[in-house]
Chain A
Amino acid sequence: MMKDTPILGEVEQLVLLAVLRLEGAAYAVPVRELIQRDAGVRLLRGSVYVTLERLERKRFVESWFSEPTRARGGKARRLFRLRPEGLAALRASRRAVDRLAAGTVAARPEGRRA
């Protein structure tokens, strides 16, 4: 029997990918900017925080507090990186989508016909 892997939500996938790409320098602002720049999706600030929170609770990401920033009055900020479970969930989600799309028009690059 195959174990049910939870499929990540759309926003969760985007945020996980952004955290992955930011390589240890991920926090809410660059995550949001990266998603907007590369995926063309504009997320509400609140939902970025909420998603990070949720991902951490699911143990897909982990956070730690950085050194206080150098600006005057700067405080420590929460940084995120992917945990192995997060990477596995990301892969599983990608695979699930790919399997489902295989052989359909959706799997082909744009503009090409069969």
Chain B
Amino acid sequence: VSVRSSWPFRLALRTVPQAWRASVRQDLADEAGQAWGSAWWCALEALGIALSLHWNFTRAAVMSDLRHAIRSMLHARGFALGAIATFALGIGVNVAVFSAVDRMLFRALPYDRPDGLAVLGQYRVGDAQPYGTLPAAYVVQARRLPAIVDASISTWDADHYRIARDPDGARYLSFVQVSYNLLAVLGVRPVIGHDFTERDARQKQHRLLLSYAVWQRDFAGSPSVIGQVMWDERSSGTAEIVGVLPDDFIPPQIVRPNLSWSGLSVTSDTLDAAGPNDRSTPPFVRLKAGVSLAVAQAQVDGVGQQVEAQQPTPRPGAPQTVVRLVPLRAALFGRYETYLALVFAAATLVLLAGCANLASLLLVRARSREHRTAVQLALGASTGRVIQAAVIEALLLAVSGCAVALVVLQAGNHAIAAWLPPLFSKYAAPVFATRVLVFSSALAALSAVVAGVWPGWRAARVDVLSVLQRGIGRTGTAPLRGSASMLAGEIAVSMVLVACASLTGRSLIGLLRTDVGFDMNRLQFVSAYLPSLPDLVLLRQQYGDMLDTLRTIPGVSAATGADVLPIMGAVDAPMWTGDQQQGQRWSVTDGFVETMGMRLLAGRPISASEVRTVAPVGMLSESGLRLVWPGVAPREAVGRLLEFPAEDPRQVVGVVSDVRGSYAERPWPSLYVPLGSARFRSMFYAVRMAPGRTLSVADVAHALQQRGHAPTLVRVSSVTALFDQGIVDQKFRAELFSCFGAVALLLAVIGLYAIQSFNVALRQMEFGIRISLGAEPHDLWRMLLRQTLRPVVVGVVVGIVVTYWAAQFLQALLVHVDARDLSTYAFVTAVLLAVGVLAAWLPARRAVRTDPAVVLRAQ
């Protein structure tokens, strides 16, 4: 009795056809009493039975509808092709976006029990992003805590190995360095071969685990890959391949998410001891089964005090930090979630526009077939039956569109992968992956229902009597009803997407126009490392000699060096001890201002002799000047003495322009001083080329070797390219939203045009009468324009409201642009109105040219 009266069962029973309902209820309730007793199971069984019975009843009808839809699609090929192509655009965008964000937004991480994994990171109080490192003692201590099974790390670095022995023209694969126990912590097993062992790490063996993709691509998936060696980039050493990672494995990369990877290599760090100065990347932690994050956090806090006590005293004014455990998933993808959700939402909007477009095309089509529908209704077809036929026709178009989209995406696979920024291409699933296929078919089915129901319902409401009286082949003259709301929706969606495109575009243009404070043209960034020496004076001299050599290379017009170049980003070099991270100090050689192409605002640059003697002089940047002497003009600052705590006074010889490390970064208040040998580590070079000349790695390596230097890892990159890399995401967003906006706009134009031209065709008689009664062409123009623009205006207003609301999320993607800036809204409104006028133009012209005599005679 209890099962019989439970609501899930009662509800499910409602879906069973009337003739069977009582029997099914009785049968299932009887059996529930004996066998399983659960109301939910009864409900499920009832649903299954209902589905079978319904399908049995309607199969014939569905098949006949389908046959009819296919016939009519073949009959009206132009219409079908247009509908399929436009819908393919909408769904294609969605499938592409889904395959790119699925891994990050919806799927579980490909590790064993991913909920039991966390990351231990050091955070500045109030920050959501952890520092790149934390005291290594935390890792050692964490491994011993009772709540934690083990901890493992992935370092900052990657090792580069080539497959061929011969280094000439070899391609290098990069292997992310991890501790030996990473796979054990993640709960992943190699598909062939074995994992790293602790002995590998202790004996400093070079061992590699290959990614599945590289195994397939470069080793043809052969099992004999185990035991093969690869050659190191830096030394002549080799590393042995011990295993292959599973196909769906992704390395957990927190600190350098954009580092490309072809596999893993093992570091010699065994994570069982750490000095007070050692730092480590944030470790991945496996919690014991059933232990909550809070419990583990409490234990970490317990050892935290002990660890902190052994740390060197922090600089005065250093920010407060906390060490926190964060679920691995949040640490990996948390920071992208808003962005990804926004992209996903935008793609959904494009699909909505696609659905509205399909619906409006079907509406037009239904109208031109109203005679047939009227006959069906007169013969006793129900409204549901007419809607069913419309949905099946929509389904046929949607599924065809979806198939077209999938094939096109698969064909353009490589082009898309090259276009996507690393964040997306790294986690993107192939188009024909099961999840992507299931998603796209479900989406196509859903869209078909959304797009088919409304036209079907409108078609079923036809006035049977008047249509039948009129006879076959004569369409009524009443304007098409029910299309305006759909067009308005389509326009609203376009409005939102075009606004997004225009905002991200403006943000990108703004960034590209940013004054970076130096001249990027023909500027090359060169690095070349020498083996470390205990004698810092000698080391400094060797690096200085390399600089002199660079200056002699043909085509080089100027060169300079620095311990760290501003274009590499800020480092832990405060302008003065305890400046609370307000300023930066850069140690540079002579020719710095000239080579970089910075503007000298007053005074002179640091001279060669000052660098040689490491004279107590310096140059301030504009904002550096404001920091130390607010309100002092550049010219007055020259010659003044900088007196910083715990160092000798330093004379300011010049004031230079502010320099940015990337387009989006704010310039650091800076002080440039001569580069001496005290605490010297290495030098990086900036080289300005003569017009039309380029610099290659081979040029540099050759020149240096001729002078007897043996540097490793010679790299040359153009500064322009480095800066472009910094705005890859900005660029991608602007392109992506432009693409979305363009698709939505195109769909809106097609929808508006289709409906309007159909309307004009229906109302020829009316126009004929109006013209013969003396209506002037401009009266007709005005009337038609008004009618087309009405849904456009409604759509624009709705779109503005939605965009204004969405601005709160959009703002995060924008630099130097206000998401609620009025000029954007004005611009987009103008674009959409122009599009509306354009779509109304051709049909209206046809209306104005109506020959009243011809039309009236035809009646």
Q: What residues make up the interface of A, taking CB atoms closer than 8 Å to B? A: 27-29, 44-47, 49-50, 53-54, 65, 69, 71-78
With beta carbons under 8 angstroms apart, the residue of B1, B5, B26 that contacts A75 is B26
Give the distance to chain B from A67, nearest Cβ to Cβ, in Å.
12
Give the distance to chain B from A60, nearest Cβ to Cβ, in Å.
16
Complex: chain B residue closest to A71, CB-CB: B1
With beta carbons under 8 angstroms apart, the residue of B1, B30, B53 that contacts A53 is B53
Report if A78-B49 is in contact (Cβ < 8 Å); known contacts: A53-B56, A73-B1.
Answer: no
| Segment with Cβ contacts to A, from B16-24, B176-184, B503-511 | B16-24
Asked if residues A49 and B52 are in contact (CB atoms below 8 Å), the reply is yes
With beta carbons under 8 angstroms apart, the residue of A29, A73, A74 that contacts B31 is A29
With beta carbons under 8 angstroms apart, the residue of A29, A46, A53, A75 that contacts B22 is A75
Give the distance to chain B from A73, nearest Cβ to Cβ, in Å.
6
Report if A46-B48 is in contact (Cβ < 8 Å); known contacts: A29-B30, A78-B22.
Answer: yes
Give the distance to chain B from A2, nearest Cβ to Cβ, in Å.
28
Contact indicator per residue, chain B 2-22, by CB within 8 Å of chain A (1) or not (0): 001100000000000001101
In addition to A29-B30, A29-B31, A50-B56, 6 A-B residue pairs with Cβ atoms within 8 Å of each other are: A49-B23, A49-B52, A72-B1, A73-B5, A74-B26, A77-B23
Asked if residues B53 and A49 are in contact (CB atoms below 8 Å), the reply is yes
Query: Which of chain B's residues have a CB closer than 8 A to the CB of A76?
Result: 22
**Chain B at the A interface: SS class:** helix
Is B25 interfacial (CB-CB < 8 Å)? yes
Asked if residues A75 and B48 are in contact (CB atoms below 8 Å), the reply is no
Asked if residues B53 and A50 are in contact (CB atoms below 8 Å), the reply is yes
With beta carbons under 8 angstroms apart, the residue of A29, A47, A53, A54 that contacts B27 is A29
> A87–B20 Cα gap in the complex (Å)?
24
Interface residues on B, range: 20 to 34
Return 29 A-B CB contacts under 8 Å, by A number.
Answer: A27-B23, A27-B27, A28-B23, A28-B27, A29-B27, A29-B30, A29-B31, A44-B48, A44-B52, A45-B45, A45-B48, A46-B49, A46-B53, A47-B52, A49-B20, A49-B49, A50-B52, A53-B53, A53-B56, A65-B22, A71-B1, A73-B5, A75-B25, A76-B22, A77-B22, A77-B23, A77-B26, A78-B19, A78-B22
Is B838 interfacial (CB-CB < 8 Å)? no
Is B826 interfacial (CB-CB < 8 Å)? no
Give the distance to chain B from A19, nearest Cβ to Cβ, in Å.
14
Query: Which of chain A's residues have a CB closer than 8 A to the CB of B25?
Result: 75
Query: Which of chain A's residues have a CB closer than 8 A to the CB of B49?
Result: 45-46, 49
Is B51 interfacial (CB-CB < 8 Å)? yes
Query: Which of chain B's residues have a CB closer than 8 A to the CB of A72?
Result: 1
> A69–B30 Cα gap in the complex (Å)?
11
Give the distance to chain A from B52, nearest Cβ to Cβ, in Å.
3
> A27–B24 Cα gap in the complex (Å)?
10
> A49–B51 Cα gap in the complex (Å)?
11
Within 8 A of A (CB), among B27-73: 27, 30-31, 45, 48-49, 51-53, 56
Give the distance to chain B from A57, nearest Cβ to Cβ, in Å.
10
Query: Which of chain B's residues have a CB closer than 8 A to the CB of A53?
Result: 20, 53, 56
> A49–B27 Cα gap in the complex (Å)?
11
Asked if residues B26 and A69 are in contact (CB atoms below 8 Å), the reply is yes
> A102–B824 Cα gap in the complex (Å)?
86
> A49–B20 Cα gap in the complex (Å)?
8
Complex: chain B residue closest to A28, CB-CB: B27
Query: Which of chain A's residues have a CB closer than 8 A to the CB of B26?
Result: 69, 74-75, 77
Complex: chain A residue closest to B46, CB-CB: A45
Within 8 A of A (CB), among B723-767: none
> A6–B49 Cα gap in the complex (Å)?
27
Query: Which of chain B's residues have a CB closer than 8 A to the CB of A74?
Result: 26
Give the distance to chain A from B521, nearest Cβ to Cβ, in Å.
74
Contact indicator per residue, chain B 496-520, by CB within 8 Å of chain A (1) or not (0): 0000000000000000000000000
Instruction: Identify which of A44, A72, A78 gathers the most chain B CB atoms within 10 Å of its CB.
Output: A78
> A28–B27 Cα gap in the complex (Å)?
7
Query: Which of chain A's residues have a CB closer than 8 A to the CB of B51?
Result: 46
Instruction: Identify which of A47, A54, A77 gathers the most chain B CB atoms within 10 Å of its CB.
Output: A77
